[in-house]
Amino acid sequence: MSMTERSSEPHAADSHDLIRVLGARVNNLKDVSVEIPKRRLTVFTGVSGSGKSSLVFGTIAAESQRMINETYSAFVQGFMPTQARPEVDVLEGLTTAIIVDQQRLGADPRSTVGTATDANAMLRILFSRLGQPQIGSPQAFSFNIATVRASGAITVERGARKTEKATFTRIGGMCVRCEGRGAVSDIDLTQLYDDSKSLAEGAFTIPGWKSDSFWTVRVYAESGFVDPDKPIRDYTKKELHDFLYGEPVKVKVDGVNLTYEGLIPKIQKSFLSKDREGMQPHIRAFVDRAVTFTTCPECDGTRLSEAARSSRIGGVSIADACAMQISDLAGWVRGLDEPSVAPLLGTLAHTLDSFVEIGLGYLSLDRPAGTLSGGEAQRVKMIRHLGSSLTDVTYVFDEPTIGLHPHDIQRMNNLLLRLRDKGNTVLVVEHKPETIVIADHVVDLGPGAGTEGGTVCFEGTVEGLRSGGTITGRHFDDRSTLKETVRTPKGTLEIRGADRHNLQNVDVDIPLGVLVVVTGVAGSGKSSLIHGSIPRGAGVVSVDQSAIRGSRRSNPATYTGLLEPIRKAFAKANGVKPALFSANSEGACPECNGAGVIYTDLAMMAGVATVCEECEGKRFQASVLEYRFGGRDISEVLAMSVVEAEEFFGAGEARTPAAHAILGRLADVGLGYLSLGQPLTTLSGGERQRLKLATHMAEKGGVYVLDEPTTGLHLADVEQLLGLLDRLVDSGKSVIVIEHHQAVMAHADWIIDLGPGAGHDGGRIVFEGTPADLVAARPTLTGEHLAAYVGT
């Protein structure tokens, strides 16, 4: 047999062109089986809650990552997050999965865009080589490393032991005053106590500090450091120092050993080290009054020591370089001609170009990582993978178009196709038709959400999807029309001279009592204008997508306050106390403490969560489940979906108006499919935002600010959201929406368009008026895209 004959037979290794999933049962998936082509772009669609993430993230990506982790030694596995095997019969043809999700980057105050990517590390090396004067190694330019000096005796035990004196210095670049944070917090003492009173007269104005409390007030009064009957303003210098800054010492109060320390360190430990979001409202108000954050006066917010700022390349210090807009910094790096560091300059320029290409050229490297939106964080993570020479990898994206203007979506599509063309499998969970269109293969899940979903409704090409009868197919070519008439404003909210971030002294009047949409390309200054510049005290309720503080014990019923009326109704019907019907209180199953599952940490191997055998996952003691209300026990009620529960509490013997009202709001915001007892940790960003919106809808606030409420919403659900926004406005509220979705723009009464570009090319108002005027004149990028969308 000749060579040509033999080579025409397919090689066995080329027959594995599919990722096969058989019998997936993660979350709400009902024995799903799909075949996904490799080295192609596959988009997963379906209404919110239909099981897309469960299939892509919870099954395919999770198993791939688990198997990679198992290739490491047991020692290394001990340091890794552990995952249990997903519930699925067969998974074949998996390749290494790289997950690019929307988890916000860590909000550590010392984390910036530069440190989250490799850009800062490269800049530090560059300055340590080329900076004049030379001040030391790359560490000397890092605001995360403090300067350390030590001297003393060192004994080397080798052969003849000898002790020698040694000194050690490590130069770091951290600013001494703010410790690399760029801001210093000052405590306003007038908010802590009234200095005209003595401690005995109750000088403290700190919430929760009662005058007879052992732990707080009496420690100061009976410590012996200060006179409890003398007004604070009359203290001597020493007394005042001990009172405010005293080092921790043990003191006896009424025979009890307690620790006395100065008031300021005590306040810092008890209030300021806690997360602001998790505080009770009155405590949060106190902290907001008592603590002021100001830019560090020593480093002027650059976080760097004076030495690190003094070393320059061509007049530019590393602080200047990090403050530049990345698109400008890329130009500066290209202008450096230094053969000794040529490879470094090449790599750095490539990284900075990737930022520009992906539409993040408007950021600067010193931008705190915690201030990036979910979409921006996802794109920052993408930068690492764009230049990667790995192929045959599975990239998994979670709605990559979030936070992107229609103009930017085209660029994102090109990047996804580039990753595919390098020979990678790209899996994308997405709702926007502009991205679904470029798919080689589409998997549509549904037909509904939650228990109504979890099956594959369609698999095939985009054309097949269009002609198929699924919800996604039917709504695929839906286009909103402009409204015939727009509402008349009832007043204005004035913003004057807004100059936060990249805003260029913007004056704008936001009409009240109507639906206002603020739009513009990513980075044009929308959030800076709305979140940063609306005057305080305007009665604004801001609903964003940030994480909800809560443990795996929190669920929609506890978060919205729904459990309260339900517990009371159960207690009243059965003549027992309400605490029995809380899984976090007296009614909890004693075996699993009301968690429903028992977590077993197996050290270096995958931890296991097993359903508690005592309560069978119901979370309550057996005796509690004997009490019924409307024929159901409390665990059955928590297992209901919002829609079922709304019906249950709406009529008949189980009628509970207080619970019914909250459930109605949850259904209004499109969360009818959530079960009442589902842990909050399993919700997506869009679901979290809608849950917050449902909670805030009962408040009296007059102005609602929503940040991209269409995130994670299927085309069919967007119509429901528009109906909800209309109801809010018609009930007398003002609604301001930061949004890129053309359906929402078309539905607005007033549009404020920022631009024309991003970063320092943005920050100006390029259009304000009705959607009809914007489409007629098409003065901006948004106008062009909106006109194309409504088909004029």
Beta strand residue intervals within 325-454, DSSP E: 394-398, 425-429, 441-446
Q: Look at residue 270 and give its three-state secondary structure.
A: helix
Question: How is residue 367 annotated by DSSP?
Answer: S
Q: Look at residue 792 and give its three-state secondary structure.
A: coil
User: Could you count the other beta carbons within 10 Å of the beta carbon of residue 245?
Assistant: 12
Return the structure tokens found at 530: 């709305």
Question: How is residue 81 annotated by DSSP?
Answer: -
Return the structure tokens found at 486: 């727009």
Q: How far is CA 10 from CA 200, 255, 787, in A?
A: 91, 87, 51
The gap from C-alpha 611 to its chain's centroid, in whole angstroms, comes to 29
Outline where 387-459 has alpha helix (H). Answer: 406-421, 433-436
pTM of the model: 0.80
Return the structure tokens found at 771: 């959607």
pLDDT in tens, 190-227: 888 888 888 888 888 888 777 666 567 788 888 888 88
List Cβ neighbours of 304 (8 Å cut-off, separation of 6 or more).
141, 143, 173, 174, 175, 318, 319
List Cβ neighbours of 557 (8 Å cut-off, separation of 6 or more).
563, 566, 638, 676, 677
Closest C-alpha to 303, from 185, 181, 186: 181
Please give the pLDDT value at position 6: 52
Return the structure tokens found at 117: 């990517």
The gap from C-alpha 124 to its chain's centroid, in whole angstroms, comes to 29
Q: Look at residue 275 and give its three-state secondary structure.
A: coil
Asked if 709 and 693 count as a contact pair (C-beta separation under 8 A), the reply is: yes
Residues belonging to the chain: 792
Query: What's phi and psi for 362, nearest 5 deg?
Result: -85, -10
The angle subtended at Cα 357 by Cα 303 and Cα 767, nearest 5°, is 85
Question: How far apart (Å, rounded) are the C-alpha atoms in residues 676 and 272?
Answer: 33
Question: How far apart (Å, rounded) are the C-alpha atoms in residues 657 and 664?
Answer: 10
Return the structure tokens found at 731: 């009930």
Query: What's phi and psi for 534, nearest 5 deg?
Result: -65, 130
- Map tokens 């993230």 to a residue: 57
Residues paired with 164 in a beta bridge: 154
Residues paired with 20 in a beta bridge: 35, 92
Handedness of CA 262, 268, 269, 270 (dihedral sign): positive
In terms of C-beta density within 10 A (0-12 exposed, 13-18 middle, 19 or more buried), how is residue 277 classed? exposed
How many Å is the maximal CA-CA distance in the chain?
108
Please give the pLDDT value at position 211: 67
pLDDT per 10-residue tile (average), the chain, 792 residues: 58 90 94 96 92 93 91 87 85 93 75 90 96 94 94 85 87 92 84 87 82 73 85 89 87 82 84 67 81 88 95 96 96 95 95 90 90 82 80 92 87 91 95 95 92 93 94 89 92 90 92 95 88 78 76 87 94 94 91 86 64 91 94 94 93 92 90 89 78 84 87 85 91 93 95 92 94 94 93 78
List Cβ neighbours of 146 (8 Å cut-off, separation of 6 or more).
172, 174, 176, 179, 180
User: Could you count the other beta carbons within 10 Å of the beta carbon of residue 42?
Assistant: 22
> For the chain, how are helix, strand and coil distributed in percent, rounded to 5?
40, 20, 40
Closest C-alpha to 185, from 272, 299, 304, 300: 272
Question: How far apart (Å, rounded) are the C-alpha atoms in residues 638 and 628?
Answer: 13
Please give the pLDDT value at position 214: 58
Question: How far apart (Å, rounded) are the C-alpha atoms in residues 164 and 544?
Answer: 60
Residues paired with 656 in a beta bridge: none
Question: How far apart (Å, rounded) are the C-alpha atoms in residues 465 and 307?
Answer: 62
Question: How far apart (Å, rounded) are the C-alpha atoms in residues 290 and 653?
Answer: 50
In terms of C-beta density within 10 A (0-12 exposed, 13-18 middle, 19 or more buried), how is residue 676 classed? buried
Query: What's phi and psi for 327, nearest 5 deg?
Result: -65, -35
Q: Look at residue 182 and give its three-state secondary structure.
A: coil
Question: How is residue 51 annotated by DSSP?
Answer: S
* Terminal alpha carbon distance of the chain: 65
Query: What's phi and psi for 116, nearest 5 deg?
Result: -75, -25
The full 3-state SS of 615-682, as one line of letters, equals CCCCCECCCHHHCCECCECHHHHHHCEHHHHHHHHHCHHHCCHHHHHHHHHHHHCCCCCCECCCCHHH
Residues paired with 441 in a beta bridge: 42
What DSSP string describes 312-342?
A: EETTEEHHHHHHSBHHHHHHHHHT---GGGH
Question: How far apart (Å, rounded) are the C-alpha atoms in residues 696 and 701?
Answer: 8
Q: Look at residue 223 and give its three-state secondary structure.
A: coil
Please give the pLDDT value at position 56: 96
Asked if 785 and 407 count as a contact pair (C-beta separation under 8 A), the reply is: yes
What is the radius of gyration, based on Cα positions, of the chain? 30
Return the structure tokens found at 534: 């609306």
Question: How far apart (Å, rounded) are the C-alpha atoms in residues 141 and 306?
Answer: 10
